[in-house]
Structure 1
Amino acid sequence: MSTSTLSPELTGQYQFDTAHSRLGFVARHAMVTKVYGAFNEWEGSAYLDAADPSKSHAKVTVQVASVDTRNEQRDGHLRTNDFFDAPAFPLITFTSTAVEQVGATEFRVTGDLTIKDVTRSITIDFEYTGSAKDAFGAERAGFEGRTVVNRKDYGINFNAVLEAGGVMVSEKITLEFDISAVKVTPAA
């Protein structure tokens, strides 16, 4: 385990600024190209401990119906029971179970990802991208992360075989996280 190089001022409770953050995904389509998507409605929070990152934790809740791939027909299909089944399973959640610092600005966050009432442990590699006071005086911290999951592990099994071989949608999905976290100032 690396010794923390984070500024002690980073320690504290944070809310994720969803207007300046992105929860996205990438899937291979028809074996030849990638489709990029995101969830537009979600919320998250974290506690960061700069001196001992293992005491840090995070939680995210995503509104499944907010899926957005910039194609309404595809988004509508993703909301059906072929994929996410948004009416029956309206939320995706992630709750961290462990945080490990693995480099000067690199962290490994392990936690429980729940999609369609299936919960599996995943690990996300994050990079701390910096901190700053914004124009309104709020302290911000930035993190970028990614991991790969198999959608079939969560009961998302729909596919179509292509005439030339292969399948329409890849099983492996890359999850991408660009997080702007705003430090919560305790009430006076």
Structure 2
Amino acid sequence: MGEVSMLFPADKKPPLHMMYKFIFQLLAVWLITLQALAQSDMIKAKTDIRFTIKNAGLNVEGTFGEAKTTIRFDEQNPEFAAFAAVVTVGSINTGIRARDRHLLKEDYFHAAQYPDIQMKSRKISRKDSQHWEGEFDLTIRGITKTLTIPFTYRKTAEGTLFSAQFSLNRLDFQVGTSNWLMGDEVKVRVRIEH
């Protein structure tokens, strides 16, 4: 409190409300600085996204070719880990161009209004030396759901590799409607190298 007292004559103590205000301002500056530092060490990563869905009884596989992923990860301090990804919906590829164009229309991804799929971590926790778990906010068509996703982490000759497999229900995000032709469950596989 010595610095606060120097703002006032030596024989007078600062009013209590002014001391609280000063301390609050210091805390606010400190938190903003910490947030800026935390965001500054996010590293861009190479991302591979693949998915599988049943269509007319057959497994249809596809990919999203454009994804911008940033990672902050220190295995010794998982509480500070952060993952953020933006996937371009228009980069979908199921091997049939006409089908891809149909999936971009309003009744499915509605890419004209929602051009991106976004994913952001809320919490990362360690299970063992290679196995981890994260809570992620996934946003598709402007609808956000929180998913718990297990993933693995290992060091490679080129850097590090994160791998995850999980399932989601496309109807939770209003991607299409329920019908006998297309399954509701989508299996997703993600690999991130950095």
Normalised by the shorter chain, which TM-score bucket? Answer: 0.7 to 0.9
Q: Which residue of 2 aligns with 1:16?
A: 45
Q: Which residue of 2 aligns with 1:57?
A: 82
Aligned with residue 168 of structure 2, among 149, 158, 178: 149
Extract structure 1 runs of 4+ deviating beyond 4 A. Answer: none
Q: Which residue of 2 aligns with 1:80?
A: 105
**Mapped partners of 2:108, 2:101: distance in 1:** 10
2:171–2:178 Cα contact (<8 Å) kept: no
Correspondence 1:170-181 to 2 at 5 A: 170-181=183-194
Q: Which residue of 2 aligns with 1:128?
A: 153
1:28 corresponds to which letter in structure 2?
K
1:15 corresponds to which letter in structure 2?
K
Q: CA offset at residue 86 of structure 1?
A: 0.5
1:146–1:175 Cα contact (<8 Å) kept: yes
Segments of 5+ residues of structure 2 without an aligned counterpart are 1-40
Q: CA offset at residue 159 of structure 1?
A: 4.7
SS of 2:183 mapped into structure 1: strand
2:78–2:124 Cα contact (<8 Å) kept: yes
**Mapped partners of 2:193, 2:164: distance in 1:** 12
Q: CA offset at residue 23 of structure 1?
A: 1.1
SS of 1:49 mapped into structure 2: coil
2:111 corresponds to which letter in structure 1?
A
Alignment root-mean-square deviation, CA? 1.4
1:53–1:100 Cα contact (<8 Å) kept: yes
Identity of aligned residues (%): 24
TM norm structure 1: 0.77
1:94–1:114 Cα contact (<8 Å) kept: yes
Q: Which residue of 1 aligns with 2:14?
A: none
Q: Higher relative CO (CA 8 A, sep ≥ 6), structure 1 or 2?
A: 1
Q: CA offset at residue 157 of structure 1?
A: 3.0
Segments of 5+ residues of structure 1 without an aligned counterpart are 1-11, 135-139, 161-166, 182-188
Q: Which residue of 1 aligns with 2:53?
A: 27
Count of aligned residue pairs for this structure pair: 154
1:54–1:101 Cα contact (<8 Å) kept: no
**Mapped partners of 1:71, 1:125: distance in 2:** 31
TM norm structure 2: 0.75
Considering only CA atoms, is the larger Rg found in Structure 1 or Structure 2? 2
